[in-house]
């Protein structure tokens, strides 16, 4: 299945209810520091919103609840891979996206037969403090050469203005978080993104 080229990431179902109607077709729910009852509720609401909108929902980290709640796509970081039951996910037909930062992580990700590979941060980002400050567009080109047909997600410091450069470098999909959620007019910013990634 071909993924939509624009991939926003939100931390609450309220964002999905607000912005899915603009035409978002691929979205991630990344929830941190929430008790399981509320987390499960967030996943259920988001799942139902995405089904109604004809959008693909990717659940970050919480693969077990995603599996139990009938979600069909999860995203795992390298540390999350350690405890994840990939066989159970595959048996259930759940698709898998994996974060990568260096060659060792990429090799590990590819051994899991992922449905996409994410590389980041392409540009400096305020969202996460990592030891990888800025991967750069050249690394997108390198990664695409290594993974072939597997979709490549560019994430980290991305903006609608930077999207064409990421696509030209080899990204199939461009992801955004704070460029939307910290914008004074998130709706207008999403429209910009949809235009830039058409």
Q: What is the rounded average pLDDT of the residues 70-78?
A: 97
| Residue 22 covered by a domain | yes
pLDDT of residue 64: 97
Give kind and range of the element (H or E) at residue 152: strand 152-154
C-alpha 18/C-alpha 20 separation (Å) is 6
Which of 49-58, 72-81, 94-103, 132-141 is least confident? 132-141
70 has pLDDT over 70: yes
- How many residues does this entry show for the chain? 198
pLDDT of residue 130: 60
Q: Residue 128: which pLDDT band, with cuts at 50, 70 and 90?
A: low
C-alpha 99/C-alpha 153 separation (Å) is 9
| Residue 93 covered by a domain | yes
Q: Which residues form the domain of 165?
A: 6-196
Q: CATH number, domain at 151?
A: 3.20.20.70
| Residue 1 covered by a domain | no
| Residue 44 covered by a domain | yes
Structurally, how many domains does the chain consist of?
A: 1
129 has pLDDT over 80: no
Could you tell me if residue 19 is left (phi over 0), alpha (psi between -120 and 50 degrees) or otherwise beta?
alpha
| Residue 105 covered by a domain | yes
| Residue 83 covered by a domain | yes
Question: Could you tell me if 16 and 10 are in contact, meaning their C-beta atoms sit under 8 angstroms apart?
Answer: yes
Assigned token pair, 1: 């299945």
Q: Which residues pair with 56 in a beta bridge?
A: 26
What rounded mean pLDDT belongs to the chain? Answer: 95
DSSP 20: G
pTM beyond cutoff 0.85: yes
| Residue 78 covered by a domain | yes
């Amino acid at each position: 299945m071909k993924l939509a080229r624009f991939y926003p990431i939100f931390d609450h179902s309220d964002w999905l209810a607000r912005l899915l109607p603009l035409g978002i077709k691929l979205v991630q729910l990344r929830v941190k520091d929430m008790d399981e009852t509320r987390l499960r509720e967030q996943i259920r609401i988001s799942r139902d919103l995405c089904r109604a909108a004809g959008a693909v929902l990717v659940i970050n980290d919480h693969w077990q609840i995603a599996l139990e709640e009938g979600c069909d796509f999860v995203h795992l970081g390298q540390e999350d891979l350690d405890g994840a039951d990939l066989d159970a996910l595959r048996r259930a037909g759940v698709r898998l996206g994996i974060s990568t930062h260096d060659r060792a992580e990429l090799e590990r990700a590819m051994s899991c037969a992922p449905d996409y590979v994410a590389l980041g941060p392409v540009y400096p980002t305020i969202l996460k403090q990592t030891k990888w400050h800025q991967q750069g567009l050249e690394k997108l080109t390198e990664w695409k050469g290594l993974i072939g047909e597997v979709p490549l997600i560019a994430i980290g410091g991305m903006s609608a203005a930077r999207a064409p450069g990421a696509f030209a470098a080899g990204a199939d999909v461009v992801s955004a978080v704070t460029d939307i959620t910290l914008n004074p007019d998130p709706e207008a910013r999403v429209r910009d993104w949809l235009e830039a990634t058409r």
